[in-house]
Amino acid sequence: MQTINQLLMIVTLMLIWLSLFISFVMLSGAIHFWFKNSHRIIETPALSRYPLITVVVPAHNEEIVIENTTRALLALNYPKDKVELLLYSDNSTDHTADRMRQAFADEQHAGRNYKIIERTGTGGKAGVLNDSLKIARGEFIAVYDADAMPEKNALYFLVQKALENPDRYMAVFGRNKTRNADQNYLTRFINQEIMVSQRIQHIAMWHMFKIGRIPGTNFIIQRDFVDSIGGWSDGALTEDTDISFKIMQSGKLIALAYNSEAFQQEPEHLKDYYFQRLRWAKGNYQVVLDNFKNLFNKSNWRVKFETFYFTSTFFIFNSAVILSDIIFLVNFGFMIWSWFDPNTQMPFTFTQGNTQISQVLVFNWLLMILLYMLQISIALASQFGQTTAKSVRIALASYFTYSQLFIIVSVHAVLQVLMDKIFKRNGTRWVKTKRFED
């Protein structure tokens, strides 16, 4: 029993080392990118051509945010006659469509090419996107969520990147920033997490491996390609990841236009956050399960790499964290019990040399905290005005609170995915993220 326990501890530590190694690779890639780009002057020269873009906005009960988003879309720095706006009020029971119309009421928007469609069909967001394919005239489809306010040049940068290599770049995606970052501690934590994922992970994946992943919003995709694969997967939790894999499988690329930015709203209450992340985590586990076979077949190397990355992040790393937490909690429980019964032995020990090994484990724990802080600090350092003493304190606080919450979300998501499989339940129920007034 003692040997099994010791092996379990060694395996856990090695899994954590593997995670550390992967993080170092990503950080190195991101640092190299920022070394090359943090001093560049960004200019917006005229493009060689301006393809017609169909901007699709799926909105389900979004009366709180849709007007501002529509106004931001109308203000995009892109020729007005080259933008076709398709705004879908999808099964809304509030005033979403009215708010959309209100945004167009201004005289300056007379003559804009737009349609406001009050949809009653099924399929959620994927259903809306598939419906839009039937009427869209654009060469590219741009997708913006109802809460995503693009910056003026967001679409320009996406198209600029797409035109760099139209034969290979089937889709181009930008970055998202938190619109309500300073609302409370939860949104501050989320803001830092988003910055790490956008300014470290996305950047590093594109810079080193030319791998991109279509996010839910602020991206364009070649219309012909979407037609060729039969549109979006209806009702899937992971329609964006699904289409990303299809692009990579065909040997094409999803390019990152890192200057294209849109502001999106993040949950302000813990409950809303929990269910949003639960849905995302379930989607990600689903992606791993659906694509695991790609590791062993003749798939494109980028698909294999992406599957490996997903697997290591969502299975290996999470398993390591959960195992080490269990080991810690069990030992801690036995330690408390030993105060009442001195004969109690802790189950996870190395007997001789126990003190030294404990020191190594504590040192590795400190390394993990340092790595966590380092990732956030590098992401913050790459953006003007973000590195402050307060943001560093928030990063440290989030390690002990916010990031630990994700363990609960992960376990919950794994259990739900397993239950869905065992009982053949439909686990793709969409839980709408709650919106807030700006």
Partner 1 sequence: MINFFYFFSIAVSIIFFIIMLVLLYFMWIIYDRVETTKVNLHLRELKARGDLNAND
SS3 of 339-369: the string is HHCCCCCCCCCCCCCHHHHHHHHHHHHHHHH
Instruction: Give CA–CA dist 193/293, Å, rounded.
Output: 30
Q: Which is nearer to partner 1, 163 or 371 (CB)?
A: 371
d(CA 138, CA 108): 23
Binder of partner 1 out of 360, 396, 411, 418 (CB under 8 A): 360
Tell me the backbone φ, ψ of residue 153, rounded to 5 degrees: -95, 10
Please report whether residue 28 would count as binding partner 1 according to CB under 8 A. yes
x/- binding map, residues 67-86, to partner 1, per CB under 8 A?
----------x---------
The single residue among 382, 398, 410, 428 that binds partner 1, judged by CB under 8 A, is 382
Which listed residue (12, 19, 31, 202) binds partner 1 by CB under 8 A?
Answer: 31
Cα-trace Rg, the chain: 24
13 neighbors 365 (Cβ within 8 angstroms): no
Query: Interface with partner 1 includes 437 (CB under 8 A)?
Result: no
Cβ atoms of 37 and 199 within 8 Å: the answer is no
Given 131, 240, 261, 266, the residue binding partner 1 (CB under 8 A)? 261
**Residue from 96, 153, 284, 318 in contact with partner 1 (CB under 8 A):** 153
7: helix, strand or coil: helix
In angstroms, give the least distance from the CB of 179 to partner 1: 8
Which residues is 56 bridged to in the sheet? Answer: 86, 143
Closest to partner 1 by CB, 45 vs 342, is 45
Of 237 and 378, which has the nearer Cβ to partner 1? Answer: 378
Shortest distance in whole angstroms from residue 10 CB to partner 1 = 6
Q: Which of 87, 113, 111 is nearest to 101 (CA)?
A: 87
Rule CB under 8 A: say whether 363 interacts with partner 1: yes
Q: By rule CB under 8 A, what count of residues binds partner 1?
A: 52
x-marked contacts with partner 1 along 7-26 as a string, rule CB under 8 A: ---x--x---x--x---x--
The rounded Cα 36 to chain-centroid distance in angstroms is 24
Give CA separation, 139 vs 82, 159, 257, 286, 358, in Å.
Answer: 10, 11, 18, 31, 60
Residue span binding partner 1 (CB under 8 A) among the ranges 103-111, 150-158, 163-171, 276-284: 150-158
Task: State which residue, 177 or 252, has the beta carbon closest to partner 1.
Answer: 177
- Residue 184 interacts with partner 1 (CB under 8 A): yes or no: no
CB of 391 to partner 1, least distance (A): 11
Among 15, 27, 186, 243, interactor with partner 1 by CB under 8 A: 27
Q: How far apart are CA 113 and CA 83, in angstroms?
A: 7
* Cβ nearer to partner 1, comparing 165 with 358: 358
Backbone angles phi, psi at 150, to 5 degrees: -70, 145
Task: Report the alpha-carbon distance of residue 72 to residue 55 in Å, rounded.
Answer: 12
Other Cβ atoms within 10 Å of 268 Cβ, number? 16
- φ, ψ for residue 425, nearest 5 deg: -85, 155
Is 395 a residue that touches partner 1 (CB under 8 A)? no
Query: Please, which residue, 38 or 122, has the CB nearer to partner 1?
Result: 38
Structure tokens at 386: 């973000």
Q: How far is Cα 218 from Cα 238, in angstroms, rounded to an integer?
A: 16
Q: Does 151 bind partner 1 (CB under 8 A)?
A: yes
Among 280, 334, 348, 350, interactor with partner 1 by CB under 8 A: 350
In this chain, which of 108, 120, 297, 352 binds partner 1, going by CB under 8 A? 352
CB of 32 to partner 1, least distance (A): 9
CB-based burial, 373-410: b 16+ in 10 Å, e otherwise: ebbbbbbbebeeebbeeebeebbeebeeebeebeeebb
**Applying CB under 8 A, does 396 fall inside the site for partner 1?**
no
- Closest to 262 (Cα-Cα) out of 181, 193, 172, 177: 177
Beta bridge partner(s), residue 173 = 219, 256
Position among 34, 309, 314, 317 found at the interface with partner 1 (CB under 8 A)? 34
User: Which of 133, 208, 327, 374 forms a contact with partner 1 (CB under 8 A)?
Assistant: 374
Give the residue among 117, 180, 176 at the shortest CA–CA distance from 148.
176
Choose, by CB under 8 A, the member of 102, 387, 416, 433 that binds partner 1. Answer: 387
Report the C-alpha gap between 179 and 176 in whole angstroms. 9
Q: Which of 133, 316, 322, 367 binds partner 1 (CB under 8 A)?
A: 367
* Contact set with partner 1 (CB under 8 A): 6, 10, 13, 17, 20, 24, 27-28, 31, 34-35, 38-44, 77, 151-153, 177-179, 181-182, 191, 259, 261, 263, 350, 352-353, 356-357, 360, 363-364, 367, 370-371, 374, 377-378, 381-387
